[in-house]
Amino acid sequence: MRIVTLEEHISFPEMASQIPKEALGGFGQSERMQQLAPKLADITGERLQSMDATGITMQVLSVDSSGANLLNPQDGPAFARRYNDLIAERIVGFEDRFTAFAHLPTTAPLAAADELERTVKEHHFCGAMIRGLTQDKFLDQPEFAPIFERAEKLNVPIYLHPGLPPKGVADIYYSGSPNHAGMAEALACYGWGWHSETALHVLRLLYSGVFDQYPKLNLIIGHMGEMLPMMMARSERAFKPGNGGANQRTLTDTLRQQVHITTSGFFTQPPLKIALETFGVDNILFSVDYPFSTNEMGIEFLNAIELPDEEKAKIAHGNADKLLKLRA
């Protein structure tokens, strides 16, 4: 069976080294991140060997948190352009195994929209990934409209991935514990904070009317829906049309019509079951979150899904092929 994964990360040292350390807030300095650095830098070596060993047909690559959204509007566009060109260069000859989400300079939204269009037309990238907040701002701010407008025009999705928390949030929520100082990164990012922030981000886009303003826009979020499936019934009541927000449709209708979720990093069946009940099988796409999770973990989970073969194939590749317009 064809298998496509679309939250699979890279980080090129020559690019990551250009991000000011103060902007990273210590991200990437943990022992675990140092161990993963060679895997993030690699594409056609160990990564491809692992894909072959586990039966993964294609990965959609995306840059990790050390990116252009941490640079000023003057430096970000050239940085993003160079990064995208490097990705395109390194997958030449392997286009049947790799494609990518464009890396965007979100601190310069119009330049980001132009870069999205360039990468789609020149490199055949299949959308873009945006990592969390930009200069402490959510994407519901009007200044980011050019990105949504261009994505809708190009008919490519935006993958909204968690990003580094704002310093003020990190200082209050995730630091200062006298006994667990080493857990700050886990609390702020992959252990909890990332997921709640991304759910909040989606709700803000709903409440501000962004989905209604761009009704053909497709959004992707990872990690089995970033807590939204579990919260959907409660949030549905809070965000009904006419309750003070600009949204014209219900939360459930909007999410089912415009938001797709991946399984990245979630490899147990209970979260999948609630995702199926809330988002539906047509909105779920298989992903691993490589190298932060292993391909072996992902494939073991995929093989254990108890669904009819037709529905399982949708999750494994069919939904991704359709949404990203990939060649089967």
Mean pLDDT over residues 178-199, rounded?
78
Q: What is the pLDDT of residue 190?
A: 80
Q: What is the pLDDT of residue 53?
A: 98
Task: Give the full edge-to-edge strand order of the sheet including 58-63.
Answer: 4-10, 58-63, 98-100
Amino acid 293 reads S
Q: What is the pLDDT of residue 127?
A: 98
Residue ranges making up the domain that contains 88: 4-324
Is 114 one of the annotated active-site residues of the chain?
Answer: no
The answer to whether 110 and 176 have CB atoms below 8 angstroms apart is no
| Helix, strand, coil percentages in the chain from 3-state DSSP, rounded to 5 | 50, 10, 35
Decide if pLDDT at 180 tops 70.
Answer: no
Nearest alpha-carbon partner for 140 in 203, 205, 214, 198: 205
Find the range with the poorest average confidence among 158-172, 203-217, 265-279: 158-172
* Sign, CA torsion 40/41/42/46: negative
Q: Dump pLDDT digits (tens) for 131-145.
A: 999 999 999 999 999
Q: What is the pLDDT of residue 175?
A: 80
- Sorting pLDDT into bands at 50, 70 and 90, what band is 186? confident
d(CA 221, CA 139): 14
Q: How far is CA 266 from the centre of its chain?
A: 14
How many folded domains does the chain comprise? 1
The answer to whether 126 and 8 have CB atoms below 8 angstroms apart is no
The answer to whether 51 and 295 have CB atoms below 8 angstroms apart is yes
Q: Dump pLDDT digits (tens) for 5-35.
A: 999 999 999 999 898 887 777 666 667 767 8
> Residue 216 in 3-state DSSP?
coil
> Residue 262 in 3-state DSSP?
strand
**Residue 216 tokens, joined:** 């053909």
Q: What is the pLDDT of residue 30?
A: 66
Q: What is the pLDDT of residue 181?
A: 57
Q: How many CA atoms are closer than 13 Å to the CA of 27, on its beta-carbon side?
A: 25
Q: Which of 140, 289, 309, 321 is catalytic?
A: 289
CA dihedral 97, 102, 103, 106 (to 10 degrees): -160
Q: What is the pLDDT of residue 89?
A: 98
Q: What is the pLDDT of residue 205?
A: 98
Please provide the average confidence, as pLDDT, over all residues in the chain.
93
Tell me: cis bond preceding 291? Omega within 30 of 0 counts: yes
Parallel/antiparallel/unpaired status of strands 98-100 and 102-103? unpaired
Task: Give the full edge-to-edge strand order of the sheet including 284-285.
Answer: 102-103, 128-131, 158-161, 219-221, 259-262, 284-285
Mean pLDDT over residues 92-111, rounded?
98
Percentage of residues in the chain having pLDDT higher than 90: 82
The answer to whether 113 and 146 have CB atoms below 8 angstroms apart is yes
Q: What are phi and psi of 273, to 5 degrees?
A: -60, -45
130 forms beta bridges with 160
CATH of the domain at 147: 3.20.20.140
